[in-house]
Structure 1
């Protein structure tokens, strides 16, 4: 690999002049710049990015620590973060925390040791060690999707109004018995949506029946089991609401395994619209989160935080959209067993 000194000798200039052209730190005459660029192209010279970052105290890179990369919801956010970071001239290093607090701490430590300029983190259910580490190291950070610590910028969806719109829609068909299949335990989004579900039922004059509420479902298999249990009650709900796309899939599987139809035997609605929701029969009524805007604004917030660490942290909640389709109807008097 040719060195900067060898480029300088070939171009007939000093090493410092080559450095100014490579790093764009001082004006160099057009003729000398042409000679240097020709030498770089001919010799295949590549600047030492690590050395440049150490000198500049910046790497123009950020870490994205996010759970369940295979989840379509997070996939859409990742794409938006990467696109906005590319526009801002930032490289993204991606790691899956697997919703594991130990893994989460390991990931943010690795990002810090690799000198990223900042971190975007979707906190796990027990994120305190990772968050405290970031705070202690004074790492610019944006928390995404889950509002876990006001010391950092945070961005996600407005869960209360989104859930209210969802329950209002389901209740408008005349349902009195509405169940809920919540998502991952410990997450702020899970807690906020459970609380919003209960408040929304009360606002519609409906009772929140404890046995209709499954508060902890770590994956689709758990959601399937929970749905089976609720639908096997002597007097089951006539409608189910799900807390995220994974619980939606689990609920649909259980409903079909019991030989029930949607919405003929049971209405279904939930959070997290996804690309193939339109392919279900019937088409599913779901809350669509603004994934692209969440990712874009997360990257913009982090870029601003890297540039100005002294400003007050911001918490940004974006509005979701209810996409009413065909999975809700009037309750029947059929006993679900």
Structure 2
């Protein structure tokens, strides 16, 4: 393995000069830095990250901690952050928690031991006390979800509006029995979305009845079971709103399996605007979320703080608005398709 001493011997300078040049030390001239970089590249030198960490030097790694990488919501975020950070000289590393606080703790421990430059996290509902302590020692920012015990710096979406808009749309079409299939209220996003659903019903002045089915945010199976339950009620809903991407997929799968005609028998409003949604059946009415733009803004803001070594934890929030996209899956109840 090529070492700093090998490069120093080639250039006939001291190892400390090479080390400082590779670390972009201001005491080393630009010409010497360029020579060192050129020779290091020719000789195939690779920096010893472990040795750097032992010296207390932070890496160029930024950890992204998410609940479920199968969710296109989070894969879109990971892609946008990776491109954004790469342009700024950082590398993204991805960790999955499955919304389990102990798995989350293990991931945070590993990232902390690697001396990462920072962590971007979509926290679980109840982070472990050790997770909170470790994050308090590392630059971090919350994305999408916001937990009071963590950094008061957060980039998110107006989750209440994301459900209020499609629910209000259904009410304006004349629906009076509307089901909501969404995430448990113990998650901040789940609580906000449930509030949006209830606020929309309240805006109708008591004329609407809401049916609530709340479960795991990443479970298609829950959404399928929930839809089966509400459709067998003595007075089934005439419309349904979903509160997550995977819940939407679960509902759409169950509708196809059960042969329910959309929108003739049931109007459906989804969550997020996946490319396939415009081609599903008559086209899915849904709420579009600026996920990629949100992730890029979060990454750029976080990089600025890391590079400037901004001290303190001053509160900062950025909330992105959703947009209702109306297609053929919603219509007035009882109308001809």
Query: Would you say same fold, with TM above 0.5?
Result: yes
Quote the residue 1:149 is aligned against: 148
How much has 1:141 moved relative to structure 2? 1.3
Q: Give the Cα–Cα distance (whole angstroms) in 2 for the partners of residues 166 and 314 of structure 1.
A: 29
Aligned with 2:173: secondary structure?
coil
Q: Give the Cα–Cα distance (whole angstroms) in 1 for the partners of residues 34 and 80 of structure 2.
A: 37
How many residues are treated as equivalent by the alignment? 331
Q: Give the Cα–Cα distance (whole angstroms) in 2 for the partners of residues 75 and 265 of structure 1.
A: 34
Quote the residue 2:327 is aligned against: 325
Q: What do the CA deviations read for 1:176-230 (whole angstroms, capped 9, x no partner)?
A: 11111112563111111111101111112345646x2112245111111111110
Aligned with 1:182: secondary structure?
strand
| TM-score (structure 2 length as normaliser) | 0.89
Quote the residue 2:74 is aligned against: 74
Quote the residue 1:308 is aligned against: 310
Q: Give the Cα–Cα distance (whole angstroms) in 2 for the partners of residues 33 and 193 of structure 1.
A: 53
Given that residues 95 and 107 in structure 2 are in contact (C-alpha distance below 8 angstroms), is that contact kept between their aligned partners in structure 1?
yes
Change (3 A) 1:150 1:320: farther
Q: Aligned pair 1:162/2:176, yes or no? A: no
Q: Aligned pair 1:95/2:112, yes or no? A: no
Given that residues 181 and 217 in structure 1 are in contact (C-alpha distance below 8 angstroms), is that contact kept between their aligned partners in structure 2?
no
| TM-score (structure 1 length as normaliser) | 0.89
Quote the residue 2:139 is aligned against: 140
- Residue range with higher mean Cα deviation, 232-241 or 14-23: 14-23
Q: What do the CA deviations read for 1:235-290 (whole angstroms, capped 9, x no partner)?
A: 11101001011111222222333321110111000222212112211210111111
Aligned with 1:316: secondary structure?
strand
Q: Give the Cα–Cα distance (whole angstroms) in 2 for the partners of residues 197 and 39 of structure 1.
A: 62
Quote the residue 2:3 is aligned against: 3
Q: Give the Cα–Cα distance (whole angstroms) in 1 for the partners of residues 263 and 148 of structure 2.
A: 40
Q: What do the CA deviations read for 1:66-109 (whole angstroms, capped 9, x no partner)?
A: 01101111111111111111122111111111111110111111
Alignment of 1:256-275 (within 5 A): 256-275=256-275
Q: Give the Cα–Cα distance (whole angstroms) in 2 for the partners of residues 124 and 29 of structure 1.
A: 46
Q: Aligned pair 1:45/2:60, yes or no? A: no
Alignment of 1:27-66 (within 5 A): 27-28=28-29, 30=31, 36-37=36-37, 39-55=39-55, 57-66=57-66
Q: Give the Cα–Cα distance (whole angstroms) in 2 for the partners of residues 285 and 38 of structure 1.
A: 56
How much has 1:55 moved relative to structure 2? 4.4
How much has 1:131 moved relative to structure 2? 4.8
How much has 1:156 moved relative to structure 2? 1.0
Change (3 A) 1:56 1:17: same
Quote the residue 2:188 is aligned against: 188
Change (3 A) 1:12 1:103: same
Quote the residue 2:237 is aligned against: 237
Aligned with 2:183: secondary structure?
coil
Change (3 A) 1:107 1:224: same
Aligned with 2:215: secondary structure?
coil
Aligned alpha-carbon RMSD (Å):
2.4
Point out which structure has higher relative CO (alpha carbons under 8 A, 6+ apart).
1
How much has 1:2 moved relative to structure 2? 2.4
Given that residues 64 and 92 in structure 1 are in contact (C-alpha distance below 8 angstroms), is that contact kept between their aligned partners in structure 2?
yes
